[in-house]
Amino acid sequence: MRNPRKKAPPKPPVIDPYVPGSGNFGYRVSRYELDLEYKVSANRLTGEATITAVTLAALQRFSLDLSDALAVSKVTVNGRRPQAFTRAKGKVNIVLADTVAAGAALTVVVRYGGNPRPIRSPWGEVGFEELTNGVLVAGQPNGATSWFPCDDHPSSKASYRIQISTDSPYRAIANGELLSRRVRAGVTTWTYELPEPTSTYLATLQIGEYATYELAESPVPMRAVLPESRKGKFDADFAKQPQMMKLFQKLFGPYPLASGYTVVITDDDLEIPLEAQGISIFGANHCTGSGHSERLIAHELAHQWFGNSVTVRRWRDIWLHEGFACYAEWLWSQESGGPSTQHWVEHYHAKLAASPPDLLLADPGPEDMFDDRVYKRGALTLHALRGVIGDKNFFALLRDWADRYRHSTVVTDDFTGLAAHYSDVSLRPLWDAWLHSTAVPPL
């Protein structure tokens, strides 16, 4: 008689196959309150996270995402210690003594600490990263777990209060409005409040020996945070931001955040700029006084509408972030007296046509989700739509899109469904050609 083989344990369910280890089931977070202390010289982070959530089903066990580099010393749920909590593969697994009913409130408090480091991912290292003299956090797509326990998926949006204490020579920047700044015994505590629902990857922390400057003549409060030595070059490179803001508000609708917009310039070079909610982070190499980063400056600002406010529910739809921000670059180029939008359309269409025809825009796959072809083909898709429905309907659609889904999450079908209301003809052939086929359609 043959020995029966043991059945393999069932694989845990996956929220998003692009980031299969991220996200959790059974609850929805509405708020994170982070009380943090960070020692720059030792790269030592200690924190207490208070997470407010509601159960979506009866729960006795649930999990949070948190990097294995950070140890957890205590967990409470609704003021009581759980029956047990364990750590495994970037998760804090919590078992309650009693089942909590569906629709019940959860207040989870996690005390933790350690030497944070970036998360290794197929797209490189993401999350909490030491600079030469400070810190940056670049959370996209799954790096939030490198510095706080969370439900790390873009479909999970919440408000934030972030309090960070660090050595007084350093300035700490986080999302939202600065509520207070307290100095005591060589340590400064900064407290920020972000009421707008925000995905975890867009929460950020920036620490450095920075000065802060307010930008004049902007329709929205705009700030620059950077080393004092970079101020002159910043003025040369970023002077057109108020004009960009005016154009994008005209084309896309009101700026979506009450606290305004902040640009951080690190003293280190960065490969690419980074977006966060209400904040964009550029490297010293993007602030040289040469003006060569203007398109990137426009791109990151546009993400405040498309990506940060209107956010994809699943990563396969990332063209709704990058295609829109890329098209905003081309719109700004024409508005500012540079090459026309049509010039960039023809230029990048020719480049795409000469590239391998193996990218499906509506589902590029995790390996290619940040491929430049997603950015450019996404922008070309929007231009093709503009050609069918006309300028008036196209920009009315963009404003409606940004307003209707403000601070919420979307999928591609939401956009194609809304676009149908702005067209007198079927858009199915357009979507089939640009979103659901790999060949590059003719212009």
| Residues 71/199, Cβ–Cβ less than 8 Å | no
d(CA 212, CA 219): 19
Q: Give the burial class of 13: count Cβ atoms within 10 A of its Cβ; 0-12 exposed, 13-18 middle, 19 or more buried.
A: exposed
Distance CA 47, CA 113 (A): 6
433 burial level (CB within 10 Å; 0-12, 13-18, 19+): middle
Residue boundaries of the structural domains of the chain = 19-116+138-196, 210-304, 312-434
Rounded Cα distance between 130 and 138, Å, is 11
Same fold, 210-304 and 312-434: no
Right CATH for 312-434 from 1.25.40.10, 1.10.390.10, 3.40.50.2300, 3.40.640.10: 1.10.390.10
Global pTM reads 0.95
pLDDT of residue 1: 43
Structure tokens at 246: 């005016």
Crossing angle for the helix pair 319-335 and 372-404, nearest 10 degrees?
90
Instruction: State the Cα–Cα distance between residues 425 and 69, nearest whole angstrom.
Output: 54
Contact 298, 332 (CB under 8 A): yes
Quick check: 32 and 148 in contact, CB under 8 A? yes
For strands 119-121 and 84-88, give the pairing: unpaired
CATH superfamily of 19-116+138-196: tricorn interacting facor f3 domain (2.60.40.1730)
pLDDT tens for each residue of 119-176:
999 999 999 999 999 999 999 999 999 999 999 999 999 999 999 999 999 999 999 9
Widest pairwise Cα distance in the chain: 84
CA separation for the pair 119, 176 (Å, rounded)? 24
Cβ contacts of 194 within 8 Å, gap of 6 or more: 159, 160, 161, 162, 174, 175, 176, 177, 203, 259, 277, 278
Q: Token pair 């009581």 is at which residue?
A: 80
Whether omega for the bond prior to residue 149 falls within 30 degrees of 0, making it cis, is no
210-304 topology per CATH = Zincin-like (3.30.2010)
Alpha carbon of residue 314 to chain centroid: 13
Question: Which residues are CB-neighbours of 257 under 8 A, at least 6 positions away?
Answer: 196, 277, 278, 304, 309
Per-residue model confidence (pLDDT) at position 7: 58
C-alpha 111/C-alpha 74 separation (Å) is 5
Q: Which residues of the chain have pLDDT under 70?
A: 1-12
* Cα gap 226→379, rounded to integer Å: 31
Q: How far is CA 17 from CA 21, 22, 56, 138, 263, in A?
A: 8, 9, 21, 21, 32
Distance CA 379, CA 386 (A): 11
Distance CA 126, CA 298 (A): 23
DSSP type of residue 80: B
What DSSP string describes 211-266? EEEEESS-SS-EEEEE-GGGHHHHHHHSTTHHHHHHHHHHHH-S-S-TT-EEEEE-
By DSSP bridging, strand 274-276 and strand 279-282 are antiparallel
Q: Is there a contact between 28 and 54 (Cβ–Cβ < 8 Å)?
A: yes
